[in-house]
């Protein structure tokens, strides 16, 4: 085996090791439900930013992991969702109360319109 072949073999092994390290970090972040980002992966693996963007294997793995994470809930989101649910419930109650009040006002308006009509009719009869 020539020096060139040995150099290529060493580079190939180093590349495989980097890919393996990056995959392991991505999987670990998925399992821990940690948001996957290139800066965090750089810190965890010691690999360069360019590696994560330029390496097609890792880029594909990262994209796939990010798609999976689209469904993972951020811990803060639970608190926000609970607050929004409570607010929606309050708004629903307020809406129902306003609907009832609106119906009562419509009925009262009808009664007053009828009374006004009768009064106007009486005034016309007296002329």
The pLDDT value recorded for residue 56 is 92
Nearest-CA neighbor of 65 among 33, 40, 17?
33
Query: Each residue of 1-50: pLDDT tens digit?
Result: 688 888 999 999 999 999 999 999 999 998 888 888 899 999 999 999 99
Cα diameter, the chain: 125
Its pTM stands at 0.54
Domain boundaries, the chain: 1-72
pLDDT for 76 beyond 80: no
Q: Are 30 and 65 in contact (CB under 8 A)?
A: yes
Query: Each residue of 89-109: pLDDT tens digit?
Result: 999 999 999 999 999 999 999
> How many alpha carbons lie under 13 Å from residue 71 in its C-beta half-sphere?
4
For the beta carbon of residue 52, count every other beta carbon within 10 angstroms: 21
- What does the alpha-carbon distance between residue 80 and residue 83 come to, in Å, rounded to a whole number? 5
Query: Most confidently modeled of 37-46, 76-85, 113-122?
Result: 37-46
Query: Helix crossing, 3-31 with 56-69: angle to 10°?
Result: 0
Burial class (CB in 10 A: 0-12, 13-18, 19+), 41: buried
- What does the alpha-carbon distance between residue 59 and residue 20 come to, in Å, rounded to a whole number? 13
- Of residues 75 and 64, more confidence is placed in 64
pLDDT for 74 beyond 70: no
The pLDDT value recorded for residue 118 is 87
């Amino acid at each position: 085996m020539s020096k060139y072949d040995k150099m290529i073999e060493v580079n190939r092994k180093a590349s495989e090791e980097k890919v393996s390290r990056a995959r392991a970090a991505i999987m670990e972040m998925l399992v821990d439900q940690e948001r996957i980002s290139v800066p965090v992966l750089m810190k965890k693996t010691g690999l360069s930013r360019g590696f994560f963007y330029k390496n097609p294997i890792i880029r594909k793995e990262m994209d796939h992991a990010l798609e999976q994470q689209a469904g993972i809930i951020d811990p803060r989101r639970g608190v926000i969702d609970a607050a929004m649910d409570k607010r929606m419930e309050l708004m629903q109650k307020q809406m129902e109360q306003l609907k009832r009040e609106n119906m009562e006002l419509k009925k009262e308006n009808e009664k007053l319109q009828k009374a006004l009509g009768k009064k106007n009719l009486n005034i016309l009869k007296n002329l």
